[in-house]
Each structure stands twice: as structure tokens, then as C-alpha cells.
């Protein structure tokens, strides 16, 4: 068994969103289906917390508690937040483990979209912020050009001068047992986080590489795709890796997550 400093993992519950199914999988109407109804789905926003012998590591920080006001109107129209309370604020969930924001050593961002980076400001004075260089460059370019979309200026403004650690490598072990892998696909700098559990199992925290399990099953993705070649290539790798009983994949937005997995303060492992 490979040596790892990982002790436990926990899952953050960042509330619920909704969206029309066509964002996730192409589902066009045919000529005989001109009146085909649109399908809306409700799904969780989630993150993870890794207890490591060298410190606590967060994976994604969730949406802004003020999303309805600070998100671009078009973004909130497409992806409305339908449940978010004070219980979904990350610092309040940390209290269930008797932790404070300053106990977090680093936040690893799978990417910097509005439902993944919106609470990072709560940690900017104490934690390292780890993202792929391509992701931060792309986000800031989109904002500079006024193409806000899924990148929200108010998420980034408080993070000027924060302790950013930008990843240039395709794969990098950031701590023993925790590795980031650049996948692209969903965004230019999207990463997944590979975590080696103490029992020898491997967990992949997928960010938004797959939003829905059907994307993995059909090897297809809808409008939320940046690079199709990267998506196809890494999807095949994940199919091979997860053919092992010791390899697990956590999808951030899988609608069945909270039927399958425990939420903080109960450990995932």
C-alpha cells in the first residue's frame, strides 16, 4: 500500500441548483417531437475536506452566500440556486468538526466557476489558493472582456494579493496522497483531485468534468464543454480506472449524491 498522509475525507453541502437538462447532454427534438417538453433537474453543489497529517485541504469553496444578487442575471436564470441557507456556508460546516477558517491550509479549485469559488474570500488571509494557471488566466480574461458568464467579478476582487499557488504541471502531488491532474474539458484549466485513502482505495473528486453520471456513461457532454478531445480522452481513462473496485469517483453535481454519501460531520472515509 502506498504511503499516504491522508486520514479522512468529508463532504460539504453547498445547497441546491436547478438547470435545464440540455446543458448537460444533447437532447434535441426531432421533427415528430416539435412539442417536446423541456426537462429541468435539481442537483447539489458540493465540495470536499481532506484531513491530512500536514493540514486540512478543501476542494472547492462553493457559491457565494449572496449568489442571487452578485451572479450575473443570465447565469442565475440558467442555473438558479433553489436552496441555500446559513447551514450551507462552509465556515458553519467546519464548526461541526470544531474547525475555523484559519485551520484550512489550502483550497484546491477544480476550476473557478461561480459555484466553486464563491466562498474563497473567507479564507484569503490564511489559506493557499491552488488552481491551474490556465484556469486563472482564462477566468480573468473573461472578466476583463466583460464575458462574465460563469466567472463572477465579485468572487475574484477579494482574492487580489492572496496566496495563490498556480499549477503548470499536468500532474502534481501537492501533499503525499493528494494529487491534482489537469484534465481540461469543461474549462481550460479544469483539474480533478486524486486522493489515496488510508485503506488503499483511491478517490477522484471530479469537479465539473462530469456534471451528471449520464455524461460518463454515454461519453457525451452538452453546452458545458470547452474541449471535446480532452473530454473524450480523460473519460476513457476514468472508465478504465473505475473498473477497479478500489477506485471511486465523486461527481460534484450528481443528483443522487446525498442518497449515496454522508455529509459533514460524518466522514466519507
pLDDT exceeds 80 at position 3:
no
Measured in degrees and rounded to the nearest 5, phi and psi for residue 33 equal -120, 35
Measured in degrees and rounded to the nearest 5, phi and psi for residue 107 equal -110, 125
Q: Say if CB 215 and CB 26 are below 8 A apart.
A: no
- The whole-angstrom separation of Cα 195 and Cα 8 is 10
pLDDT in tens, 106-124: 999 999 999 999 999 999 9
pLDDT in tens, 214-256: 999 999 999 999 999 999 999 999 999 999 999 999 999 999 9
pLDDT exceeds 90 at position 2:
no
Specify the pLDDT at position 102.
98
Mean pLDDT computed over 183-211: 98
Mean pLDDT computed over 181-205: 98
pLDDT in tens, 148-190: 899 999 999 999 999 999 999 999 999 999 999 999 999 999 9
Specify the pLDDT at position 148.
85
pLDDT in tens, 36-67: 888 999 999 999 999 999 999 999 999 999 99
pLDDT exceeds 70 at position 207:
yes
Specify the pLDDT at position 151.
98
Mean pLDDT computed over 186-204: 98
Using pLDDT thresholds of 50, 70 and 90, give the confidence band for residue 1. low
pTM to 2 decimal places: 0.96
Mean pLDDT computed over 23-43: 91
Please list, in sequence order, all residues whose beta carbon lies within 8 angstroms of the beta carbon of residue 66, skipping any fewer than 6 positions away. Answer: none
pLDDT exceeds 80 at position 137:
yes
Amino acid at each position: 500500500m502506498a504511503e499516504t498522509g491522508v486520514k479522512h475525507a468529508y463532504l460539504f453541502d453547498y445547497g441546491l441548483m436547478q438547470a435545464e437538462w440540455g446543458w448537460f447532454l444533447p437532447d434535441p427534438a426531432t421533427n415528430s417531437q416539435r412539442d417536446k417538453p423541456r426537462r429541468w433537474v435539481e442537483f447539489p453543489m458540493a465540495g470536499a475536506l481532506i484531513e491530512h497529517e500536514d493540514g486540512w485541504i478543501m476542494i472547492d469553496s462553493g457559491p457565494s452566500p449572496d449568489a442571487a444578487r452578485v451572479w450575473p442575471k443570465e447565469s442565475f436564470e440558467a442555473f438558479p440556486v433553489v436552496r441555500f441557507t446559513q447551514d450551507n456556508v462552509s465556515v458553519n460546516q467546519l464548526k461541526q468538526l470544531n474547525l475555523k477558517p484559519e485551520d484550512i491550509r489550502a483550497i484546491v479549485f477544480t476550476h473557478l466557476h461561480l459555484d466553486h469559488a464563491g466562498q474563497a474570500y473567507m479564507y484569503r488571509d490564511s489559506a493557499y489558493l491552488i488552481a491551474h494557471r490556465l484556469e486563472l488566466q482564462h477566468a480573468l480574461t473573461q472578466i476583463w472582456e466583460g464575458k462574465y458568464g460563469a466567472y463572477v467579478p465579485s468572487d475574484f476582487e477579494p482574492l487580489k494579493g492572496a496566496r495563490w499557488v498556480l499549477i503548470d504541471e499536468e500532474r502534481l502531488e501537492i501533499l503525499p496522497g493528494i494529487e491534482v491532474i489537469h484534465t481540461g474539458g469543461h474549462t481550460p484549466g479544469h483539474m480533478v483531485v486524486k486522493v489515496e485513502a488510508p485503506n488503499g482505495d483511491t478517490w477522484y473528486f471530479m469537479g465539473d468534468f462530469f456534471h451528471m453520471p449520464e455524461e460518463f456513461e454515454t461519453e457525451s457532454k452538452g453546452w458545458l464543454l470547452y474541449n471535446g478531445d480532452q473530454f473524450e480522452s480523460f473519460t476513457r481513462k476514468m472508465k478504465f480506472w473505475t473498473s477497479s473496485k478500489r477506485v471511486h469517483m465523486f461527481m460534484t453535481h450528481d443528483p443522487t449524491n446525498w442518497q449515496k454519501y454522508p455529509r459533514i460531520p460524518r466522514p466519507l472515509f
